[in-house]
């Protein structure tokens, strides 16, 4: 096995591990928010419906990321969605946190967490997998 093939196998295994770990973390957003509300819960905890909605969305995404870990190459669209939606979500939250000084804790909480999610998945995916398919 060539060094390049060995590296690809290692990255594939790391991708499976990352998908599982990120999926579990996404399932734990609600408890994380209870422990560290200034970094994870918006509107000083007053947006109860918002929190339930966002936790529900991320819990479902978490389950599907865990399932995708079985065969990541078959779930490229889901992984790409996770990368790009994490970047967009982090950018919007960063702008909102900077605009509203009461939300600055997010700049050391959920904002960098989503950037890390996107960066890890982007690094572990082969470059061609990030491009929309032409088929």
Per-residue pLDDT of the chain (135 residues; tens, 9 = 90+): 666 656 767 899 999 999 999 999 999 998 988 888 877 887 765 667 788 888 999 999 999 999 999 999 999 999 999 999 999 999 999 999 999 888 888 898 999 999 999 999 999 997 654 445 554
Burial classification of residue 78, based on how many CB atoms lie within 10 Å of its CB (0-12 exposed, 13-18 middle, 19 or more buried): middle
Q: Domains of the chain: which residue ranges?
A: 3-127
Q: What DSSP character marks residue 100?
A: S
The confidence score (pLDDT) of residue 47 equals 63
The confidence score (pLDDT) of residue 129 equals 43
The confidence score (pLDDT) of residue 50 equals 80
CA distances from 118 to 7, 13, 47, 84 (A): 20, 17, 26, 7
Separation CA 12–CA 17 (nearest Å): 9
The confidence score (pLDDT) of residue 114 equals 96
Total number of residues shown for the chain = 135
The confidence score (pLDDT) of residue 71 equals 94
């Amino acid at each position: 096995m060539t060094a390049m093939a060995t590296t690809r196998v290692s990255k594939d295994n790391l991708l499976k591990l990352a998908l599982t770990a990120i999926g579990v973390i996404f399932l734990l957003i609600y408890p994380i928010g209870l422990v560290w509300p200034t970094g994870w819960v918006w509107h000083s905890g007053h947006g109860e419906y918002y929190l339930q909605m966002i936790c529900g969305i991320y819990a479902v995404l978490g389950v599907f990321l865990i399932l995708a870990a079985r065969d990541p190459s078959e779930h490229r669209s889901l992984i790409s969605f996770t990368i790009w939606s994490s970047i967009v979500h982090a950018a919007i939250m960063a702008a909102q946190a900077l605009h509203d000084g009461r939300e600055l804790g997010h700049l050391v909480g959920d904002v960098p967490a989503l950037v890390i999610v996107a960066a890890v998945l982007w690094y572990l995916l082969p470059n061609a997998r990030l491009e929309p398919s032409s088929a």
